[in-house]
């Protein structure tokens, strides 16, 4: 129950930050944006003390560790793969353009509006 209360407090803090943004309408923009960022940081701090917040922090740490294990392609492999994709897209575009032109010609021929 305490975690739910903390999460509600965090949400109220964020809402207060947005309210402050609009209440500081005549203030410099840095103060207005600072109200939002400050409230978000405080809300994150409050949410971090909850059980779901701690689990989320562990999840992020594990995700970062898994990302470090990924075998990223070399620059050469990336450029080659990109070239293959671009070539395939061009070939498919030309193919679809030809099919579209043939179908348009066939429909015009069938309804008698052109072609013959």
Are the C-beta atoms of residues 40 and 14 closer than 8 Å to each other? yes
Q: Which pLDDT score, from 0 to 100, does residue 66 have?
A: 93
Please tell me whether residues 65 and 78 are part of one structural domain.
Answer: no
Claim to verify: residue 81 and residue 34 sit in the same structural domain = no
Is residue 96 domain-shared with residue 61, that is, in the same domain? no
Domain coverage including residue 28: 2-69
Summarize pLDDT for 31-87 with one digit per residue, the tens.
Answer: 888 989 999 999 988 888 888 888 989 999 999 999 999 998 999 999 999 999 999
Please check whether residues 57 and 78 belong to one and the same domain: no
Name the burial class of residue 43, with classes exposed (0-12), middle (13-18) and buried (19+) by CB atoms within 10 angstroms of its CB: buried
More confident site: 114 or 33: 33
Residue 107 and residue 50 share a domain: no
Same domain membership, residue 64 and residue 91: no
Report pLDDT digits (tens) over 86-112: 999 999 999 999 999 999 999 998 998
20 or 79, which is more confident?
79
Asked whether residue 97 falls in the same domain as residue 50, the answer is: no
Looking at the structure of the chain, the number of domains it has is: 2
């Amino acid at each position: 129950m305490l975690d739910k209360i903390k999460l509600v407090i965090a949400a109220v803090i964020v809402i207060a930050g947005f309210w402050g943004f609009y209440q500081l309408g005549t203030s410099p923009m840095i103060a207005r944006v600072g109200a939002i960022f400050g409230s978000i940081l405080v809300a994150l701090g409050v949410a971090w003390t909850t059980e779901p917040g701690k689990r989320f922090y562990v999840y992020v740490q594990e995700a970062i560790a898994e990302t470090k294990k990924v075998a990223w392609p070399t620059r050469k492999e990336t450029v080659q793969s990109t070239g293959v994709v671009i070539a395939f897209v061009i070939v498919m575009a030309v193919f679809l353009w030809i099919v579209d032109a043939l179908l348009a010609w066939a429909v015009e021929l069938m309804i008698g509006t052109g072609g013959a």
